[in-house]
Structure 1
Amino acid sequence: MSDDDMPIEDQWYRRDLPVLREVARQAAASGEVINAATFRMAQVADTDAAGVDAALRWLEESRYIGVRRGPTRANGQATVWGVDLLERGRRTVGIWPSQQEPVDRLIEAFRQAEANTSDDDDRSTLRRVAGYLAALPRDIVAEVLASAVT
């Protein structure tokens, strides 16, 4: 098998996702991520500064992060002044609710109400409603919830 036929090494789990998680940790701790944090990102992702730059570039192109750049260095790379974690990045690392989360909470609320009521008819109705909601596609229930709230 030639090198051209070999699978390309995974970059998402090995490099990009660990960098994204470190961006999220730093943003949560200080409100922003600055260039000085590149060393920590390189340690977490087990790569070098060039690997971190590549990960930041891919994450930016895929709209997980926004990068604020400064002047271009002698080597042609722009200085990274800051990194903003965007909605897609927040959802990926789990610090922003997914579309399914409110639906799951609604279903759980109906199940809790069922467990906490003593009326058999109410308990049966609550169980059925939770079952109906659980049987529907989550995105449909999420759209209904969103339109009801807004």
Structure 2
Amino acid sequence: MTPPDRPLPDTPLPDTPLPDTPLPDTWFRRDLPVLRAVARLVDGPDHGGNPYLGQVVPASGLPKPDVLAAARALVAAGYVEVLTTYSGEIVRFTGISPEARRLAGLWPTPQSEWERLVEQLTARAAHAPTDVERARWRAFADAAAAVGPDDGALLMSALIGGYVPRAR
């Protein structure tokens, strides 16, 4: 007979997720803040582009065990490069991938550039010095809104990548 203070063998423990439930998110809570901290430090001149783990911890605002777990995940995904000891402990961050630069916000994405373009058009329409210019900028902003963010991102992708289709 099982004592009453112990759960039955087929009853999951309260903190144990069921096997068919999704795992909790780690990207937004842990990995992305660490990636952004690494990107700032790698991109900045203060640390020679190779920050130590001890510099990333306070820059991320997360505890060291979370930073280590995030760093291992980011290395496995190919987002960051690290220098390790012989035993495999992470010592320094030595680089980040182009995709990591985009995810951290250092490089443009088609979506972010489309949003910037729409913001610029709206601001120019609001601050145009004459009614004629205001109407032109408003028409341009309205046309951009009608194109929509999906097709706008495709356009910006072509522009960022340097490919603009030729007229027939």
TM-score, length of structure 2 as denominator length: 0.61
Residue 45 (structure 1) aligned to one of 62, 67, 71:
62
Amino acid of the residue matched to residue 70 of structure 2? A
What are structure 2's unaligned runs of at least 5 residues?
Answer: 1-10
1:129 shift after superposition: 1.9
The 3 A distance-change label for structure 1 pair 109 and 39 is: closer
Does the CA contact (< 8 Å) of 1:64 and 1:85 recur in 2? yes
Question: What do the CA deviations read for 1:28-78 (whole angstroms, capped 9, x no partner)?
Answer: 2334124xx213434542133xx544422311232322x1446x62x4x26
1:91 aligns with 2:115: no
What are structure 1's unaligned runs of at least 5 residues?
Answer: none
Aligned length: 141
Identity of aligned residues (%): 29
Q: Tell me which protein shows more helix as a share of its residues.
A: 1
Question: Max radius of gyration: which structure?
Answer: 2
Question: What do the CA deviations read for 1:98-148 (whole angstroms, capped 9, x no partner)?
Answer: 32233233333333443314243x433331221120232324224334144
Instruction: Quote the residue 2:34 is aligned against.
Output: 19
The 3 A distance-change label for structure 1 pair 87 and 137 is: farther
Amino acid of the residue matched to residue 104 of structure 2? V
Cα RMSD (Å): 3.4
Residue 138 (structure 1) aligned to one of 149, 154, 166:
149
TM-score, length of structure 1 as denominator length: 0.66
Does the CA contact (< 8 Å) of 2:38 and 2:93 recur in 1? no
1:116 aligns with 2:128: yes
The 3 A distance-change label for structure 1 pair 40 and 10 is: farther
1:26 shift after superposition: 1.7
